[in-house]
């Protein structure tokens, strides 16, 4: 269906959805609130409006009292926040503060970031009032013109500010420090006056402590009972009920009206870069993004029904976030007098607070996802607008429910337009998909099909009674496996001719290392990540584990080595360190992931044999795993080191790093340097130091070097995805479920998709020497004196890249 083919009713509904995405404006809020008060129907208002309304009155009162007390006279320095808040009506400040905080509460932004957003919204309100008061005619003229020409509120605000300066209307911009003081005071007052939010201290990593704003447990409990709270917390962007507007320029695509903030093709604040893209010929990029946007989806109703029941029952099932907070550790009896015991208890309690804050955020995400799914439950088809990041990776815009979401979100989606399964090949791909979702994916494709056949009775029993047969909940991806059970049951019931709409995913084998092995023609790394054919899939994580075990055996004199051998070192311990290697992984990160893997095994019932030596044991094994990775993926390490050396040369000149992917997308990596400033402020009666970061105009040389390896390899996987989509479209595929290194379509088209993605990968690396092209891009940018500092290209190996065409397990 094209836009011109959309029925008037669908077009009208789409316009309503886009208006809804804009959220509750101030006028709409106050109008609905006054109508509810007048008609004494406050209980008929949405729960979201009720929650916001419940915050306004007590918060406005608290703001008024705070300002009056702080500015009430007497000696001493006047309170900075009070001075600023004295210039705005308490009810308006309360509305803005409550709205911003409640909108941001599940985004996991830091306390200081939300505080600055709150104060920024207050300042914007006051700044625009100043413009209107000084020159009302000019304000109306410019604003009317901008309303017609500009959809983005951020751009509109910036242009109004420029017009203010141009016409001599002065405004004393608030500093970051001032914003922090104003915003933190409003958040603190919101917490004290309403009890809706709390400020939580969280430990993130070994040495980093941050503060976050979370809903209180009482409000969290209220959300469980009243999911229509999500009407207040509606995601800024929702799916569309007609195909999204095709992208034709970096500024035109996605949604159809100006009701909500308009999208840009690339998520970036660099308007000059976007203007350059307007004049860049990118046919493959536009065709790929628009093909994904034109994929029609519908809600998988049986899965939604089960998910709702499980969520409403409040049971911990299918890897959903547990419904109850973790209990705080018991306080030692001598906590008042025993300093060491008090420190240990506070550390343990802080960890529990951090985990509970994450749990609450995850619960809210599940609730929002269910709400959005219910909103589109009866639609025969809906769609997802897509955007790119600066590397060319393609992302679905709507949050929560989208094809790139967590397991339960993906399971709620199925293609609106299925195709009949007419042969054993298509049926085999459906079965392979089921085995993969269970976790039975380290065997041949034939063995995966056989596994489904052997477990067919259990699969059909699950489809018949999911809550009476909970076997599905033990799968690696339980909710998608449940969706497979329903689909397999339908196929068994109807046989060949069954119209299957379930997305069948083909996943890469450590895709980042696949790209590095291909660009350097590395036969060792290429074999380890399935670039060459074999009888069984190669498991690079197990390969690294085997090398690590061999090294442990040679170090048998070390008691830590013996303990690790007894404990067991397997692919679960090595997986994360290997996965993150091509994306800028470090030894420090490796240590963290080894620690996480050890803790997970202990939670599963294994005894920790290291006791007080756990820290030493983790560091010891991490060093071994890190060196073992280097033994298996030598060429990838060389490529990463080479890219970083080139990046340092470019960064030394203060230049961004710019290259064009084989699909024709221009990438610009330009991490700005930041200046950190510590601000002393009161937090709930206690003085603390919060760190503010301010972007500078110069390039951050360290971040440029650290980011180049992951960004370059991400740009390569994005390029292959774009080429694959275009080639698949030429071969009749119209339904795409793409997640960077996971390619999905209906079972009937999966064989074609598998062929297309292999062909796209081979052609890209046959037709392009991507590292040589990258080096030439850098040479073109640099002055002559710096060109001589560029390192020579790394040596290539003997891998025959065309063997990818014959590799069953390249993506499977």
Which stretch of 101-105, 448-452, 769-773 has the lowest confidence by average pLDDT? 101-105
* The pLDDT of residue 228: 41
* The pLDDT of residue 795: 94
Residue whose entry in the numeric block shows the structure tokens 């029941």: 309
For the question of residue 572 being annotated catalytic, the response is: no
pLDDT (tens digit per residue) in 14-27: 888 887 776 533 34
pLDDT score of 34 more than 70: no
pLDDT score of 381 more than 50: yes
Mean pLDDT of 29-49: 44
Instruction: Decide: 257 and 237 in contact? Cβ < 8 Å.
Output: no
* The pLDDT of residue 40: 38
Instruction: Decide: 97 and 186 in contact? Cβ < 8 Å.
Output: yes
Catalytic residue among 252, 476, 507, 555: 507
Beta strands in 373-483 (DSSP E): 386-388, 394-396, 413-415, 419-420
pLDDT (tens digit per residue) in 792-809: 999 999 999 999 999 999
* The pLDDT of residue 25: 34
Q: Which domains does the chain have, with CATH numbers?
A: 24-213 (1.10.1320.10), 419-500 (1.10.287.280), 523-632 (1.10.150.20), 639-806 (3.30.70)
Cα gap 573→576, rounded to integer Å:
7
Mean pLDDT of 366-386: 94
Percent of the chain with pLDDT over 70: 87
In the structure, what pLDDT confidence band is assigned to residue 348 with cuts at 50, 70 and 90? confident
Residue 145's CB: how many other CB atoms inside 10 A? Answer: 12
The predicted model scores a pTM of: 0.76
Catalytic residue among 575, 717, 723, 749: 575
Catalytic residue among 407, 522, 717, 741: 741
What kind and span of H or E run contains 251? none
For the question of residue 741 being annotated catalytic, the response is: yes
pLDDT score of 447 more than 90: yes
pLDDT (tens digit per residue) in 544-554: 999 999 999 99
* The pLDDT of residue 134: 83
Query: Which candidate, 529, 550, 524, 553, places its Cα nearest to that of 541?
Result: 529
In the structure, what pLDDT confidence band is assigned to residue 378 with cuts at 50, 70 and 90? very high
φ, ψ (nearest 5 deg) of residue 149: -105, -30
Residue 300 exposed, middle or buried by CB count within 10 Å (0-12, 13-18, 19+):
buried
* The pLDDT of residue 315: 85
For the question of residue 137 being annotated catalytic, the response is: no
In the structure, what pLDDT confidence band is assigned to residue 41 with cuts at 50, 70 and 90? very low
Cα gap 769→764, rounded to integer Å:
9
pLDDT score of 685 more than 60: no
pLDDT score of 227 more than 70: no
Instruction: Decide: 479 and 411 in contact? Cβ < 8 Å.
Output: yes
Cα gap 252→246, rounded to integer Å:
8
């Amino acid at each position: 269906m094209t836009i011109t083919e959309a029925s008037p009713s669908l077009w009208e509904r789409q316009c309503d959805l886009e208006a809804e995405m804009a959220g509750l404006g101030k006028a709409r809020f106050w109008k609905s609130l006054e109508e509810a008060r007048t008609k004494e129907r406050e209980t008929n208002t949405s729960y979201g409006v009720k929650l916001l309304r419940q915050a306004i009155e007590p918060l406005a009162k608290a703001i008024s009292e705070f300002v009056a007390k702080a500015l009430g006279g007497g000696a001493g320095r006047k309170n900075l926040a009070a001075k600023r808040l004295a210039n705005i009506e308490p009810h308006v400040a309360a509305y803005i503060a409550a709205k911003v905080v409640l909108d941001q509460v599940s985004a996991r932004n830091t306390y200081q970031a939300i505080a600055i957003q709150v104060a920024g919204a207050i300042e914007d309100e006051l700044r625009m009032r100043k413009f209107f008061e000084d020159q009302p005619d000019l304000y109306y003229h410019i604003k009317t013109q901008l309303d017609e020409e500009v959809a983005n509120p951020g751009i509109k605000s910036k242009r109004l500010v420029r017009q203010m300066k141009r016409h001599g209307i002065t405004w004393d911009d608030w500093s970051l420090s001032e914003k922090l003081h104003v915003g933190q005071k409003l958040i603190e007052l919101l917490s004290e006056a309403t009890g809706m939010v709390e400020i939580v201290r969280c430990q993130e990593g070994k040495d980093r402590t941050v503060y976050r704003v979370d809903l209180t447990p009482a409000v969290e409990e209220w959300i469980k009972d009243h999911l229509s709270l999500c009407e207040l917390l509606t995601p800024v962007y929702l799916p569309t009920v007609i195909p999204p507007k095709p992208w034709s320029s970096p500024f035109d695509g996605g949604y159809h009206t100006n009701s909500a903030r308009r999208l840009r093709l690339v998520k970036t604040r660099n308007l000059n870069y976007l203007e350059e893209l307007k004049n860049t010929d990118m046919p493959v990029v536009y065709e790929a993004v628009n093909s994904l946007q034109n994929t029609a989806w519908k809600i998988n109703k049986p899965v939604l029904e089960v998910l709702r029941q499980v969520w409403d029952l409040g049971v911990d099932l299918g890897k959903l976030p547990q419904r109850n907070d973790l209990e705080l550790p018991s306080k030692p009896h001598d906590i008042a007098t025993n300093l060491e015991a008090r420190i240990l208890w506070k550390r343990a309690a802080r960890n529990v607070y951090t985990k509970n804050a994450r749990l609450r955020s995850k619960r809210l995400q599940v609730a929002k996802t269910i709400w959005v799914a219910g909103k589109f439950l009866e639609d025969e088809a809906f769609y997802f607008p897509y955007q790119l990041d600066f590397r060319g990776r393609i992302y679905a815009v709507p949050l929560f429910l989208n094809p790139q979401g967590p397991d339960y979100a993906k399971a709620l989606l199925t293609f609106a337009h299925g195709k009949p399964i007419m042969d054993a090949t298509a049926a085999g791909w459906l079965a392979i998909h089921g085995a993969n979702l269970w976790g039975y994916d380290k065997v041949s494709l034939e063995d995966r099909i056989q596994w489904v056949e052997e477990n067919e009775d259990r699969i059909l029993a699950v489809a018949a009674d999911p809550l009476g047969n909970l076997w599905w909940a033990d799968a690696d991806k339980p909710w998608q496996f449940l969706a497979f059970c329903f689909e397999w049951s339908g196929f068994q019931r109807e046989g060949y001719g069954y119209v299957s709409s379930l997305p069948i995913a083909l996943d890469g084998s450590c895709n980042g290392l696949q790209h590095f092995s291909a660009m350097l023609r590395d036969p060792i790394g290429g074999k380890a990540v399935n670039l060459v054919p074999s009888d069984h899939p190669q498991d690079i994580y197990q390969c690294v584990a085997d090398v690590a075990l061999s090294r442990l055996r040679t170090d048998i004199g070390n008691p830590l080595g013996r303990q690790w051998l007894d404990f067991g070192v397997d692919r679960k311990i090595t997986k994360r360190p290997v996965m993150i290697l091509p994306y800028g992984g470090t030894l420090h990160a490796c240590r963290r992931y080894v620690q996480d893997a050890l803790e997970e095994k202990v939670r599963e019932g294994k005894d920790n044999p290291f006791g007080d030596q756990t820290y030493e044991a983790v560091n010891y094994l991490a060093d071994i795993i890190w060196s073992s990775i280097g033994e298996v993926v030598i060429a990838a390490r060389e490529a990463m080191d080479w890219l970083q050396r080139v990046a340092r040369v470019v960064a030394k000149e203060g230049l961004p790093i710019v290259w064009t992917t084989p699909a024709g997308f221009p990438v610009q990596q330009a991490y700005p340097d930041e200046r950190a400033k510590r601000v002393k402020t009161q937090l709930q009666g206690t003085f603390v130091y919060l760190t503010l970061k301010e972007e500078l105009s110069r390039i951050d040389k360290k971040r440029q070097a650290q980011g180049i390896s992951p960004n370059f390899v991400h740009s390569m996987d994005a390029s292959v995805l774009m080429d694959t989509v275009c080639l698949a479209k030429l071969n009749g595929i119209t339904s795409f479920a793409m997640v960077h290194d996971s390619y999905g379509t209906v079972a009937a088209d999966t064989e074609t998709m598998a062929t297309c993605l292999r062909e796209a990968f081979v052609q890209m690396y046959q037709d392009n020497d991507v590292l040589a092209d990258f080096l030439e891009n850098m040479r073109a940018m640099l002055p002559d004196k710096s060109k001589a500092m560029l390192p020579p290209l790394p040596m290539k190996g003997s891998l025959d890249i065309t063997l990818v065409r014959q590799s069953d397990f390249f993506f499977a």
